[in-house]
């Protein structure tokens, strides 16, 4: 996984110069509300929203399709290049949302907001989206383990990663939390669904 100190971002900075503007990143498991929250936040902050999956598609960074998992395989080098090209051309703060936010070079981001959702609620949302049983299990399991926030912390460090529990908030309220945080940054809460479910004796229900 690339991170702020990685060869990848250092290489691009050497070639292109350190970008002057930064991006607000919104990450999280599928169904946690990234796209909806980013749209609301974009309106609130008058900032352009970039979807990482659209960016990957537009720049030919989808290298293959994993039919068994019903998901695209991303060419990470290609996507890092596309992000840097995008960031280079912007003169204003942008919002970047999607699954691969940890690929954004450290020097181009200001904060990463990871949307978290209780596994029961996430499962309902993914069911409503018509996802297959396997895909729901895989995505909910990733949320239980906390894959997205672990990847973000690994890439950007604890201080740059703020988690928001969206379980009982609508996207407008989640955007409010982000706006408040940007006004006065605070220490992030950390959510551990694994511990919660283990204490309830339900962890096996969620792990394959
Ligand atoms: N806070 C919320 N409360 C209730 N429903 C929500 C909330 N956020 C999103 N949803 C619903 O969950 C579904 C997924 O939302 P959205 O598409 O924004 O998620 P996403 O994180 O962008 O997913 P993906 O990673 O697949 O792009 C949508 O049907 C949306 O209306
Ligand atoms: Mg989305």
Region label for 201, one of left (φ > 0), alpha (ψ between -120 and 50) or beta (otherwise)? left
Query: For the segment 41-78, what is each residue's pLDDT rounded down to a tens digit?
Result: 999 999 999 999 999 999 999 999 988 888 889 999 99
- Percentage of the chain exceeding pLDDT 90: 77
Is any ligand 1 atom within 6 A of the Cβ of residue 173? no
CA angle 199, 155, 27 (to 5 degrees): 65
Is any ligand 1 atom within 6 A of the Cβ of residue 116? no
The CA distance from 22 to 91, in Å, is: 9
The answer to whether position 77 is within a domain reads yes
Domain that holds residue 29: 7-118+147-192
The answer to whether position 67 is within a domain reads yes
Q: Which atom of ligand 1 is nearest to the CA of 166?
A: 1
The answer to whether position 61 is within a domain reads yes
Using alpha carbons only, how large is the chain's radius of gyration in Å? Answer: 17
CA angle 122, 198, 99 (to 5 degrees): 35
The answer to whether position 26 is within a domain reads yes
Query: For the segment 162-189, what is each residue's pLDDT rounded down to a tens digit?
Result: 999 999 999 999 999 999 999 999 999 9
Neighbours of 77 (CB within 10 A): 13
In angstroms, the first-to-last Cα distance of the chain is 24
Which residues have CB under 8 Å from 105's CB, separation 6+? 2, 4, 8, 9, 12, 13, 80, 83, 84
The answer to whether position 44 is within a domain reads yes
Is any ligand 1 atom within 6 A of the Cβ of residue 36? yes
The answer to whether position 41 is within a domain reads yes
Number of domains in the chain: 1
Span from the CA of 15 to the centroid of ligand 2 (angstroms): 31
* Phi, psi (deg, nearest 5) at residue 109: -115, 150
Report the predicted TM-score, pTM, of the whole model to 2 decimal places: 0.89
CATH number, domain at 166?
Answer: 3.40.50.300
């Amino acid at each position: 996984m690339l991170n702020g100190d990685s060869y990848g971002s250092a290489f691009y900075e050497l070639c292109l110069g350190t970008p002057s503007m930064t991006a607000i990143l919104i990450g999280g498991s599928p169904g946690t509300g990234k796209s909806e929250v980013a749209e609301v936040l974009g309106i609130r902050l008058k900032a352009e929203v970039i979807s990482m999956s659209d960016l990957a598609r537009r720049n030919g960074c989808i290298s293959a399709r994993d039919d068994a998992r019903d998901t695209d395989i991303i060419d990470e080098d290609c996507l890092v290049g596309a992000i840097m090209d995008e960031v280079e051309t912007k003169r204003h703060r942008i919002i970047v949302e999607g699954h691969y936010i940890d690929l954004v070079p450290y020097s181009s981001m200001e904060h990463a907001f990871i949307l978290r959702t209780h596994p029961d609620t996430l499962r309902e949302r993914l069911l409503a989206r018509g996802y297959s049983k396997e895909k729901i299990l895989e995505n909910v399991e990733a949320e239980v383990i906390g894959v997205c926030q672990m990847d973000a912390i690994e890439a950007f460090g604890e201080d740059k990663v703020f988690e928001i529990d969206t379980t009982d908030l609508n996207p407008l309220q989640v955007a409010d939390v982000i706006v408040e945080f940007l006004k006065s940054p605070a220490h992030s809460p950390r959510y551990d669904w694994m511990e919660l479910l283990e204490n309830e004796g339900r962890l096996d229900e969620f792990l394959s």
